[in-house]
Amino acid sequence: MEKFSSQKELAGYLDSFGIETENWGKDSAKTIGHLAEEINEGEAVLLEEKGQVIRQIQIAGVDVFYQNCRLYEDRQEFSDGRTRKRTLTHSLSEKFKGDESREDAAKRALREELGIGGKINIKETGEKIETKDSLSYPGLKTRYIVCEFEAFLSPEQFSADGYVECGGGKKNYFLWKETE
């Protein structure tokens, strides 16, 4: 699908498939502007299948470990005061940008979301494809192509207090839990 020249054009396109966007940007939903940005940056595409529109994204899902601990996302806090708790399958996830390789997307996730530098010890562990309703964009089905990875941090990369990612009008808080 091509890029849209305006948020209004994108909203009209979605409306033609019965997807209402006026409640986006409330509660845990993102705005129509966020979706337009995803499309324009090559992070998402809209596909027409069997008379409906589907948002498709590729994600690097990374489980992050240090010794006997696994990292998890505790919460997201938006600049407008909203807080969202998500139950994620992986420690963190990052949408691919354009034609970025799987490993590059996973390493970028660690660098951008956690501020991890230096050599990254990472391995790919599989792939899952799932189509479901989007929490971010209510009413818009999303196909998630998840490339799964495990990352093992060095002592220099480890922060016992966890990590905070700031950007995009929100903060993501990551904390450690002991593994069993």
Nearest to 90 by CA among 49, 124, 62, 109: 62
173 within domain boundaries = yes
pLDDT, one tens digit per residue, over 48-101 is 999 999 999 999 999 999 999 999 999 999 888 888 888 889 999 999 988 899
1 part of a folded domain: no
Token pair belonging to 74: 């505790």
Q: Are 170 and 77 in contact (CB under 8 A)?
A: yes
The pLDDT tens digits for 114-159 are 999 999 999 999 999 999 998 899 999 999 999 999 999 999 999 9
The predicted model scores a pTM of 0.81
Asked if residue 2 is part of any domain, the answer here is no
CB 94 within 8 Å of CB 38: no
Task: Name, in order, each residue with C-beta under 8 angstroms of 157's C-beta and a sequence gap of 6 or more.
Answer: 66, 116, 117, 118
Number of domains the chain contains:
1
The CATH number of residue 132's host domain is: 3.90.79
In a domain, 161, yes or no: yes
Domain span at 63: 7-178
